[in-house]
Each structure stands twice: as C-alpha cells, then as structure tokens.
Amino acid sequence: MLKHIPDLMPPELMKVIMEMGHGDELLLCDGNYPKFGCPERCVRMDGHGIREILDMLLKFFPLDAYVEHPVALMAVLPGDPYKPEIWEYYREIGEKHDADGLRDETIDKNAFYTRGQRCYACVATGEKALYANVILKKGIVK
C-alpha cells in the first residue's frame, strides 16, 4: 500500500503514466470508441467515466506547456447537431489542476483515430457521453 494514491488509480495506469515522457500522449476513450483507433497498450477502466479519471490524472499528469494545444477532443461530425456537454466539465477540471486550463482543440474523427493509434497508451472507460474521447499530451514537471 502507498499513501495518497487515489483508490481509483489502477497500478497498471500508474505504471503507464510513470513510463511516459515529455510529448507522449495518453488516450482516454469512451465506451463507443473502436479498437482500431487505439494503441497496443491499453488499461481497462470500464466501470468509470472519463470525468472522474481526468480529474484523478491531472493531479499527477502535467500537460505540455510547450505546445499550443496539449489536449485534443474528437470533433462532432459535420451535420450532427449534438453539442458535447461533457467538454465543459473537462475544461472545469483542467482549470482546477492547471493555471492555463486544458488549452484544447477539436480534431476531426479520422484524424483523431489516427492520432489515437499513435498514443503511448489508452484508457478504455465505460463513459456513455458522446464525443467524450480525449487525448492528453504529457508535459514536464518544473
């Protein structure tokens, strides 16, 4: 047992984020995300949503301060009237943990899948919200 590690943090995820270096990316994918858009390394957290995982991660995980957009969100498909309410929750969590917030960008679905495949690892969640997928670029601890 260790002190101050959240109960939510699985040992495998702690290992993964400790192994990651500056510029490596971590994909947090919702329950609808396809396997072909994932890297080989995958941590399963099916019983949890991305909001709670993001809140836990950003306590430890520095976002890259040397890029304009260290966070990528999957853009809504053209013609889809859906407005992802979950993004505002993500931004609130980002402001809580980083003075500059998330500094997110949206990228189209196919580009997101391609980028997701190249991530260091992914966290597969049980998130039910649509367009909830997010990629985090790791920064450095100053």
Residue numbers annotated as active site: 22
- Residue 50 main-chain phi, psi, to 5 deg: -70, -35
Helix ranges, the chain (H): 11-19, 50-57, 86-97, 109-117
Query: Residue 84 CB: number of other CB atoms within 10 A?
Result: 18
125 forms beta bridges with 45
